């Protein structure tokens, strides 16, 4: 089964930038939509951004609008999340997920996605 695989996490200072990437293990990101989520211990997984692979429509959570940019590279079969002006509260494990049945909705909800990566840690030091 094809699964998303995340890369690009790490430690960065507040105000800095990181780019996360999502690729497919053993196949293609053959999803209608690809989303990025994040989770900190004790909290629910939060939808951060979503992109439709076909038309490139994007959705962002209010908490990251203007700071994060999601993009797709269908030729390379990858989706990226460019994160800028990072804050300590952006610290979390970030997950890439694929939706095979639905396109991006105004609310980025985990139950709409059916294939998940293992996650990559992003730590922003203040």
pLDDT tens figures, 4-61: 999 999 999 999 999 999 998 877 888 999 999 999 999 999 999 999 999 999 999 9
Do the strands 92-99 and 120-125 form a parallel or antiparallel pair, or are they unpaired? antiparallel
Tell me which residue of 98, 101, 108 sits closest to 22, measured CA to CA: 98
**Cα 93 to chain centroid, rounded:** 10
Tell me which residue of 34, 25, 80, 81 sits closest to 53, measured CA to CA: 34
Separation of alpha carbons 24 and 89, rounded Å: 28
Q: What pLDDT digit, counting tens, does each position of 52-96 carry?
A: 999 999 999 999 999 999 999 988 899 999 999 999 999 999 999
Q: Three-class SS of residue 48?
A: strand
């Amino acid at each position: 089964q094809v699964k998303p695989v995340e890369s690009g996490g790490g430690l960065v200072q507040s105000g800095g930038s990181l780019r996360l990437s999502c690729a497919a293990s053993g196949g293609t990101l053959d999803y209608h939509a690809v989303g990025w989520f994040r989770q900190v211990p004790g909290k629910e997984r939060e939808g951060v951004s979503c992109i439709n692979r076909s038309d490139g429509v994007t959705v962002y959570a209010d908490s990251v609008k203007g700071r994060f940019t999601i993009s797709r590279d269908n030729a390379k079969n990858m989706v990226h999340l460019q994160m800028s002006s990072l804050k300590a509260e952006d610290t979390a494990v970030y997950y890439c997920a694929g939706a095979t049945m639905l396109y991006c909705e105004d609310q980025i909800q985990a139950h709409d996605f059916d294939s998940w990566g293992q996650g990559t840690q992003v730590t922003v030091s203040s």
